[in-house]
Amino acid sequence: MANSLAGKRAFITGSFQGIGLGIATSLASEGAAIVLHGLADAETISKAEMAVMAAGASTVESHVSDLRDSDATESLIAKILSGGAVDILVNNAGIQHTATIAEMPRSKWNDIIAINLSSFFDTMRLLLPEMAKRGSGRVINIASVHGLVASAAKAPYVAAKHGVVGLTKVAALEYANVGDRNSGGVTINAICPGWVETALIEPQIQARVDLHNSDRAAGIADLLSEKQPSQRMSTPSDIGALALWLCNPAAHNITGAAIPVDGGWTAQ
């Protein structure tokens, strides 16, 4: 299905690196126009743009904004829409801070809820009505295995990700009967990754690798052994492949789902 997304425009939050960039390059590989977003320096942004264009994007543009500010998000969406419709919205931006409830700074709670949950609501409320008018659109919310189960010392993150799953279900119900099989309908789904190999967790990986005489596979298996039965990490491109599949017209009746990519974590 070469260029199956030709003529489509995809906006991915938090997409200058990691999972967001993996999704952006996957969508680009099918010819989509890509709208990148995040908070990053010029070099990181340039590298992301080059990766997306090399993957096959028809065009690429980048926007820098802080999703904690809902007014700024409204301005961001207006600016993006001035360049054309958004056919695919991927809410991926997220931050993390670990501490017990008793020791969690209130400011960290505010920031994590704002970026990991409230920003998803903002982009959806601003873009879903436009998708509904066309009878076609895809929203993919990157939740987490922590949208399905909990871990200690991650109260705001777990609360936000559970909220993303609930928000996804509500939106899916509200837009379930929009469009038809030919137009593709408007679907809203959540992807719930477990461990994904990104730069963010590389220090944790390396610490385990050092304990296993530089055996990377053994170090990763050790890191994952407590939670992820497969003892294999996913890659950003794995998550991107699933996001791409959800954009297929054949996925018109898959909506309101929270799809785990967790090596059996939530099957336990």
The residues carrying an active-site annotation are 157
Strands of the sheet with 9-12, listed across from one edge:
60-64, 33-38, 9-12, 88-91, 136-142, 185-193, 258-261
User: Which element (helix H / strand E) includes 141?
Assistant: strand 136-142
Q: Which of 29, 136, 9 is nearest to 80 (CA)?
A: 9
Q: Are 137 and 89 in contact (CB under 8 A)?
A: yes
User: Which element (helix H / strand E) includes 225?
Assistant: none
Q: Is 166 helix (H, G, I), strand (E, B) or coil?
A: helix
What CA–CA distance (Å, rounded) separates 69 from 114? 8
Q: Which of 66, 62, 155, 40 is nearest to 119 (CA)?
A: 66
Query: Pseudo-torsion of CA 9, 34, 63, 93, nearest 10°?
Result: 90
Where b means 16+ CB within 10 Å and e means fewer, 84-94 reads eebbbbbbbbb
What CA–CA distance (Å, rounded) separates 87 from 7? 9
